[in-house]
Amino acid sequence: MGYANLIFLYGFLPLCLILYYFFNSIFIRNLILILFSLIFYAWGEPLWILILLFSAVFNWFLGVNAHRFRMESLGRILMIFAVAVDILLLVVFKYTGVVNPFPLGISIYTLQAISYVIDCYRDRIEPQDRFYLFLLYFCMFPRIMGGPVERYRDMESRLESRTISASDIYEGILRLVTGLTKIIVFAGHLLPIADTFFDSSFSGLSVLGAWYALLCFTLYLYFELSGFSDIAIGLSRLFGFHLKENFDHPYMCRTITEFWQRWYVSLGTFFGDYLFPSVARRFHKSLALCLVWVLMGLWHTAAWNGLLWGLFHGLFLLLEQLLGEERIRRIPVWIKHIYTKLVILIGFGILYFDDMRKLGGFFRNLFGISLFTGSAGLTDPAALQSLTGSLILLIPAIILCAPVRKRITEPFLNSKNDAVYKRTLILQMAGCILLLAVCTLFLADGSAGSLLYWKL
pLDDT score for 451: 53
8 A C-beta contact, residue 383 and residue 208: yes
The answer to whether residue 50 scores a pLDDT higher than 50 is yes
257, 259, 264, 267 alpha-carbon torsion, rounded to 10°: -10
Question: Is 60 exceeded by the pLDDT of residue 454?
Answer: no
pLDDT band at 375 (very low <50, low <70, confident <90, very high): low
Spatial CB neighbours of 161, under 8 Å, sequence gap ≥ 6: 26
Indicate whether 456 pLDDT > 60: no
Mean pLDDT, range 141-162, rounded to an integer = 88
Asked if the model's pLDDT at residue 66 lies above 80, the reply is yes
Distance (Å, whole) CA 446 – CA 377: 35
Provide the whole-model pTM. 0.91
Round to whole Å and give the CA distance between 310 and 260.
Answer: 11
Separate counts of helices (H) and strands (E) for the chain: 25, 0
Question: Residue 202 has what pLDDT?
Answer: 65
Q: Could you give the CA distance from residue 119 to residue 208 in angstroms, rounded to a whole number? A: 50
Q: 433: number of CA atoms within 13 Å, CB side?
A: 6
Res 448: pLDDT: 59
Q: What are φ and ψ of residue 2, in 5° steps?
A: -115, 170
Residue 367: is its pLDDT beyond 60?
A: yes
Q: What single-letter amino acid sits at 222? A: Y
Q: Among 259-268, 279-288, 399-408, name the one with the lowest average pLDDT.
A: 279-288
Report the C-alpha gap between 154 and 141 in whole angstroms.
17
For residue 192, is the peptide bond before it cis, meaning its omega torsion is within 30 degrees of 0? Answer: no
Show Cβ contacts of residue 352 under 8 Å, excluding neighbours closer than 6 positions. 194, 198, 217, 305
What are the residues whose beta carbons fall under 8 Å from the beta carbon of 364, sequence distance 6 or more?
202, 370, 373
Report percent pLDDT > 70 for the chain.
93
Share the mean pLDDT of the chain: 88
In the chain, what is the straight-line distance between the N-terminal and C-terminal CA atoms, in Å? 17
pLDDT in tens, 270-303: 888 887 677 766 766 777 777 777 788 877 777 7
Q: What is the pLDDT of residues 82-105, one digit of tens each?
A: 999 999 998 888 877 666 677 888
Check pLDDT > 70 for residue 335.
yes
Q: Is 211 exposed, middle or buried (0-12, 13-18, 19+ CB in 10 A)?
A: middle
Q: How far apart are CA 225 and CA 249, in angstroms?
A: 12
Whether 115 and 59 have beta carbons less than 8 Å apart is answered as no
**Sign, CA torsion 64/66/68/70:** negative
User: For 96-138, what is each residue's pLDDT tens digit?
Assistant: 766 667 788 888 899 999 999 999 999 999 999 999 999 999 9
